[in-house]
Amino acid sequence: MKALIINCSPVRSGATAEIARIAAEALAERYETRTVCIDDYHFAFCRGCRSCHATAQCVLQDDVTALMAEFAAADVILCVAPSYWADIPGQFKAFIDRCTPWCNTHEPHAAIPRGKRGYAIALRTGPGMHECERIIGSIEHFYGHLEIERSGHLGLTSVEFREMVEARRPEILAFCREI
C-alpha cells in the first residue's frame, strides 16, 4: 500500500514540512511513502473557461496532471496545510481549482481510482482551533469531490516555527497510528 504526504505550504523547511516529515516517517512503517511539496509542481491558475466540463480535460498543460498521477497511485493521501490568512495556502488552493476535470460536479469528468482514504493535518500559529477547522474543511471538501473517503484529521494550534513541532510529536504519531 502507498501513502502520499503533501506539504501544502510552499515552505520546504518550516513547521509544515517538519510535520509532513514526521508523518512520513511514521507511515513508512506500514506504507510505501512519498512526500511532495506543493511547490515541487508548477501550474497556472484556472481560467474558469469550463472547457473541462465538456471534455474532462484542462486546456492548460502543466504539472497538475503529474500531481494527480501521484494521487492516483496512492492508497492513502495526507495533506498537511498551514493557515495562510485563515485558510489553505494560495498555491494549494490554485491546485485544487485546477482539479476541476477530476471533480464529480459535472459529467463527463476524469477520475482517479476509487477506494482511497484521505487525511488532513492543519496547523496555525494562534491558540484557537477555528482556523484549523476551516483548513480541514477545505481539504475534506476537495477530497469529497474527488471521491476520496474522508478518514480523519488533526488540528494543531500554537505552532509557528519548525522548532515548536517536536513538542507536538506525540499527537502527530498518535494520529498516524490511526491511518
pLDDT, tens only, 67-125: 999 999 999 999 999 999 999 999 999 999 999 999 999 999 999 999 999 999 999 99
The radius of gyration of the chain from alpha carbons, rounded to an integer in Å, stands at 16
171/154 Cα distance (integer angstroms): 8
Distance between start and end Cα atoms, the chain: 12
Task: Report the CATH number of the 2-177 domain.
Answer: 3.40.50.360
Q: How high is the pLDDT of residue 113?
A: 97
- pLDDT confidence bin for 132, thresholds 50/70/90: very high
Q: How high is the pLDDT of residue 126?
A: 96
Q: How high is the pLDDT of residue 171?
A: 98
All structural domains of the chain with their residue ranges:
2-177
Determine if the pTM surpasses 0.95: yes
Q: How high is the pLDDT of residue 92?
A: 98
How big is the chain, counted in residues?
A: 179
